[in-house]
Homo-oligomer: A and B are copies of this chain.
Amino acid sequence: MKIVEGGVVAPIGYKAAGLRAGIKPSATKKDMAMIWSEAPAVCAGTFTKNVVKAAPVFWDKKIITEEETVQAIVINSGIANACTGQEGIENCRKEALTVGRCLGIAPEKVLVASTGVIGAQLVMDVIQKGIEDLSQILSDGPEAADDAANAILTTDTHKKEIAVTVELDGKTVTIGGMCKGAGMIHPNMGTMLAFVTSDVSVEKTTLQEMLLEGVEDSFNMVSVDGDTSTNDSCLVLCNGMAGNRLLTKDSKGYENFKKALFYVLEYLAKQIAGDGEGCTRLFEVICRGAACKEDARIISKSVVCSSLTKAAVFGKDANWGRILCAMGYSGVVFDPEKVDITLCSEEEGSLTIVKDGIATDYSEEKATRILSGNPVQAILDIHAGDQTATAWGCDLTYEYVSINADYRS
């Protein structure tokens, strides 16, 4: 596997674009993006489990269930098109019709996605003009992928994109991806918005299964603030233009491709955690020695979700009592007197601060130096088995409160 440039346009046959249509109040920020595949692309998707689902989630779920392939995704930031009733659904249909007209495809070949303020309706003449302009400037150059990755952001501080290649039957297959995160991040099925493109030739059911498995260990292990959004969507398009033999579960290259896809999903998930609203550093929590994978997932996620632990990370305070407390209320039964906790950073190495549930005689100065790193890692060993899981979060800062006390103004 090799990391390459180009984000979502790195695979063969994809174009993208991003521009400012005028949805966001800011006069300079891009707010619409488009991804286009020259050839019809097999598509898989995962969506929020929130009972309150945004209109685009309803639209996309229907398309992915009923259609074998799609060719375009149009995305806007600034307005989430959530809690918008029948008018919101109708606006999704209008978006798809406009994209179809501009690109010469049927509206059922178009997926839509939105992120931003909940409750407001899309201003359709702005959106439709945006779609017309996007269609004109679609390009397979890396700057087009950058524009698209920038246009989908809300309170994110930087774009999040990646591309990797992997060899399959002597063919080079490429996977590209971009996503946005920052707030209302506690994905339960996909993240706020993530888009992955590939030129691999793959069977639709195989792709969907791979995606479901992949999000469990990536996006579903990320939390910024414990709030599962109404718009969470992760969409994967695969147009087959790499020319490999159709990939199925029985293919020789299956594990290889899956590994590359999971790498992309995990990379994007970590980018979201590390750019959480107001955050100053990525907090990676690894639970080891669990009796089953699910226990390890629940414990590590409980710790990255703890407000008290997150504030302690911000304060570079090795307050391990809060970590052990968050493990304790996770719902998993374990023996507190068998727990070891180790802190690590790249610069300072590792330091075991708790052994058998009790503080070691560790140096507070070294602990503070480790907690000053980015990312900061905590390894929790519960000595109950051999299963491991990793969760990603971030610290809780003044800036998080500032961003969210007055998000709409």
The answer to whether B408 and A83 touch across the interface, beta carbons within 8 angstroms, is no
Contacts of A398 in B (CB 8 A): 398, 401-402
The answer to whether A358 and B85 touch across the interface, beta carbons within 8 angstroms, is yes
The answer to whether A312 and B404 touch across the interface, beta carbons within 8 angstroms, is yes
Contacts of A183 in B (CB 8 A): 308
The answer to whether B321 and A118 touch across the interface, beta carbons within 8 angstroms, is yes
Contacts of A397 in B (CB 8 A): 401
Partner among B82, B319, B404, B409 whose Cβ is within 8 Å of the Cβ of A308: B404
* Contact residues, A197-241 vs B (CB, 8 A): 225-230
The interface bits of chain A over 382-409 (1 if a CB of B lies within 8 angstroms of the residue's CB, else 0) are 0000000000000011101111111111
* Contact residues, A46-73 vs B (CB, 8 A): 49-53
The answer to whether A407 and B312 touch across the interface, beta carbons within 8 angstroms, is yes
How many chain A residues touch B (CB < 8 A): the figure is 66
Partner among B188, B314, B321, B326 whose Cβ is within 8 Å of the Cβ of A405: B314
Interface: A172 (CB within 8 A): no
Task: Determine how many copies of this chain the complex contains.
Answer: 2
* Contact residues, A306-347 vs B (CB, 8 A): 306-308, 311-312, 314-315, 317, 319-322, 324-330, 332-334, 336-337
Partner among B80, B332, B400 whose Cβ is within 8 Å of the Cβ of A401: B400
The interface bits of chain A over 338-379 (1 if a CB of B lies within 8 angstroms of the residue's CB, else 0) are 000000000000000010111100000000000000000000
Contacts of A41 in B (CB 8 A): none
The answer to whether A227 and B326 touch across the interface, beta carbons within 8 angstroms, is yes
In the bound complex, how far is the Cα of B82 from the Cα of A50, in angstroms? 36
The answer to whether A229 and B400 touch across the interface, beta carbons within 8 angstroms, is no
With A311-B404, A328-B51, A407-B312 as contacts: A226 and B184 at CB distance below 8 Å: no
A382 to chain B, nearest CB (A): 10
Partner among B83, B330, B337, B357 whose Cβ is within 8 Å of the Cβ of A324: B83
The answer to whether B80 and A321 touch across the interface, beta carbons within 8 angstroms, is yes
Residue of A49, A356, A403, A405 with highest tally of chain B CB at under 10 A: A405
Can you list 26 contacts pairing A with B, beta carbon distance less than 8 Å?
Answer: A50-B328, A50-B329, A51-B329, A52-B327, A83-B336, A85-B358, A118-B319, A118-B325, A184-B308, A186-B329, A227-B306, A227-B307, A229-B325, A230-B321, A230-B325, A230-B328, A307-B307, A308-B404, A311-B404, A312-B407, A314-B405, A315-B404, A317-B409, A396-B401, A398-B398, A398-B402
Given A225-B307, A311-B401, 16 additional A-B pairs, CB 8 A? A51-B330, A51-B332, A51-B333, A82-B325, A118-B321, A118-B325, A186-B329, A226-B305, A229-B325, A230-B321, A230-B328, A307-B404, A311-B400, A312-B407, A314-B405, A317-B406
